[in-house]
Structure 1
Amino acid sequence: MADLNTKFHIEKNTVQETLIIPLFARKVCTEHFPNLFNDNQAERICSMVDYDFSAKSKKMESTMGLFGALEVAQRQYDLAYEVKEYLKTHPKAAVVNLGCGLDDTFRKCDNGKCLGFNIDMEDVIKIRNEILPVGDREKNLAYNLNNEKCFDEIPAENGAIFFASGVFYYFTREEVKSLLSKIAARFPGSIIVFDACNKRGAKMMTKTWLKEAGISDVKAYFSLEDENELCNWSNNFSKVSSKSYMRGYRDIYKELGFIHKLMIQFCEKLVKMKIIKIAC
C-alpha cells in the first residue's frame, strides 16, 4: 500500500497516464456537475499522484473535452446501476470488473456481502495495488482477459455479474465474441454489461480519445451497429438488450447546456452509444 504522505509518480505517455485520465475526468465532472456526480474517490486518487494535470485540465475545460468527461462519468454510473440491480436478487454474487484499470465501481456498489474481482494486465494491477489497494472481499487479479484461467478464481455459486468499462473497443470482434461466449458457458445465470458504439464511433475514438490518451500502437477495433448481432454469438445468451449511454439510466439532458444536448443527440443517433446487457 502506498504511503499516504508520498505521491505516486505518473510518467507521461505510459499506461500509467492512460489509467489516470478517466479518474481525472470523473473529478472534473464532480466539480462541474455536482448535482449529477459526487466522486470523492476520483478526487482523492488524483490528489495522491505526482502528475501535472494542467494540460489535461485545459483540454477538459473545453466544450468537447467536458463532454468526453461526461461520457466517462456517466458510463460508470450506468454500469454501477446494473451491478446494484443484480445484487438486489443476488446479494452474495461475484462482481467482476473486466479490464479494471483504476476503476472503483465495486466499492461504489458494495452491499457488504458481495465479492469483488478486478482483472487486468500485470503492469496495471501493480499500479492498482499501489494506488487503489484491495478492500474487504475484494481481489485484484493479474491476467490478460484472453486467458480464461482468470475465471478459475471466481466463485459462481451465488451468481456473477461481469462488466467492462471502455475496454472492448481495443479488442477484435472475434476476441470479444470468444470472451463473452466463454463467460456465458461457464457462468449460467450471470449478467454481462459493457459499453459499445458503432463503426463511426470507433473511428472517431481513434482520432480523439486514443490520440488524447497518447495511445498510438492500437486502434479502436470492436464496434456494434445493432445489439441483435450478438444473439447468434452463443446459445448461452438468453437475452440481449441495450439502453442509451447518456439517457437510458437517468436523463441528464436537462442538466446540460445547448451544445452538450446536441452532442448527446449526435451520439445517440449517429454513433449509437449504448450500454449492452447480456443475460446468460
Structure 2
Amino acid sequence: MMGRIYSSENFPNILYDETALKLKDTLPDINKDQSEYTFMASAVRSMNIDRYVKDFLKRNPDGIIVELGCGLETTYNRCYDGKTKWYELDLPEVIEYRENLLPPGENQILIKGSILNDDWLEYFDLNNPVLFVAGGVFHYFPHDDVIKTFKILQNFKNAELVFDTLNKLGIRGIKRYMKKLGHDEATMYFYVDDGEKLANKIDAALLKEERYYNHTSKKGMKFMTKVSMTVSDLLYMVKMIHIKL
C-alpha cells in the first residue's frame, strides 16, 4: 500500500492509485525503513498485475478475477470494469482488517480462507474462466506448499495464474535486505529459476515469463533505483510469470 502511495505521489505515470492515497493517513509510517527502490518495486508489481488483469478481461468478457492472499490490494479499485465478479481471498484476521479499511464494492466478494486448503472452492463454478492473481505472496511459502496451491487451482477447468517471483539470486538478496531491516521472521522460501520447468512440473503451460521492470519508465528516479532495476532485469532476479493451469 505504501509503495502504491509513493508511486501515486511521485511517479503517477507508472501507477496512480486514488484509493491508496485516500487511506494514507490511516496507515502506519514505515517510510524510515524504505528506499525509493523498495517502494517502486511494490508499485511496479501492481502496474504489472493491472496489465495482466485488463488483458485477461479483454479475452474473457465473462471471466472472473480471484486475488490470492489479497491483503490490502486495490487492484479491483483500479481495474474493475463494472461487471466482472471479483473475489478476494485471505486469512480470516486479514479479511477482517481489510473490511475496516476497504469495504467491498460492487461484485467484490471477500472470502476468509487459506490458499493451502480447498474449502473455498465451494464459492465458485469451476467451469468459469478465471484469472488467479498472487502479488507478493508465494515467496513466503515452502516450495511444496506452493505446488500444493497450484494443484488446488487446477480444479478449475479454464484457469490462468499470474504472479511475481524471484530467482535464487534474487531471494538471497531480499533475505539479506529483510535481515537488515530487522525482519528476520519474514523468511522467504519459494523462487523460480525457470518458468518452463515449473509449468512442466505441474502439467501446465507457460504463457509468459518476463522481466519485472520491462514496462517501467525510469525517468526521474534516483540513480541507485535505476541501477537496481537494470541489474534485476539483466539477471532476471525478479520476474512476472503467467501460466495456463
Q: Scaled by the length of structure 2, what TM-score is found?
A: 0.92
Counterpart among 179, 182, 185 of residue 217 in structure 1: 185
Measure the CA separation in 1 of the matches of 2:185 and 2:51: 33
Task: Deviation per CA, 1:134-193: give whole Å up to 9, x if none.
Answer: 111111111111011112212344410001000000111111112112212x11221100
Measure the CA separation in 2 of the matches of 1:204 and 1:124: 27
Secondary structure at the counterpart of residue 209 of structure 2: strand
Secondary structure at the counterpart of residue 150 of structure 1: helix
Which AA in structure 2 matches 1:160?
V
Which residue does 2:175 correspond to in 1?
A: 206
- Cα 1:144/1:136, change in 2 over 3 Å: same
Question: Does residue 251 of structure 1 match 2:216?
Answer: yes
Counterpart among 56, 64, 69 of residue 99 in structure 1: 69
Counterpart among 40, 57, 61 of residue 87 in structure 1: 57
Counterpart among 225, 232, 240 of residue 267 in structure 1: 232
Which residue does 1:229 correspond to in 2?
A: 197
* 8 Å Cα contact 2:178-2:184 kept in structure 1: no
Which residue does 1:161 correspond to in 2?
A: 131
Measure the CA separation in 1 of the matches of 2:220 and 2:210: 19
Question: Does residue 27 of structure 1 match 2:5?
Answer: yes
Which residue does 1:238 correspond to in 2?
A: 205
Report the alpha carbon displacement of residue 268 of structure 1 after superposing the two structures with TM. Answer: 1.5
Secondary structure at the counterpart of residue 194 of structure 1: strand
Report the alpha carbon displacement of residue 69 of structure 1 after superposing the two structures with TM. Answer: 0.6
Task: Deviation per CA, 1:31-72: give whole Å up to 9, x if none.
Answer: 2213322212111112234x3x2xx22443xxxx11111110
Report the alpha carbon displacement of residue 90 of structure 1 after superposing the two structures with TM. Answer: 1.4
Which residue does 2:119 correspond to in 1?
A: 149
Could you list the runs of 5+ residues in structure 1 that have no partner in the other structure? 1-22
Secondary structure at the counterpart of residue 23 of structure 2: helix
Report the alpha carbon displacement of residue 109 of structure 1 after superposing the two structures with TM. Answer: 1.5
Which residue does 1:57 correspond to in 2?
A: 31
Secondary structure at the counterpart of residue 121 of structure 2: helix
Secondary structure at the counterpart of residue 86 of structure 2: strand
- Cα 1:156/1:252, change in 2 over 3 Å: farther
Measure the CA separation in 2 of the matches of 1:251 and 1:88: 22
Q: Percent identity?
A: 26
Aligned-residue Cα RMSD (Å) equals 1.9
Counterpart among 175, 180, 189 of residue 150 in structure 2: 180
* 8 Å Cα contact 1:228-1:240 kept in structure 2: no
Which AA in structure 1 matches 2:223?
F
* 8 Å Cα contact 1:93-1:156 kept in structure 2: no
Which AA in structure 1 matches 2:31?
S
Q: Structure 1 residue runs of 4+, over 6 Å off?
A: none
Q: Scaled by the length of structure 1, what TM-score is found?
A: 0.81
Which residue does 1:13 correspond to in 2?
A: none
Which AA in structure 2 matches 1:231?
A
Give the alignment of 1:4-15 within 5 angstroms. none
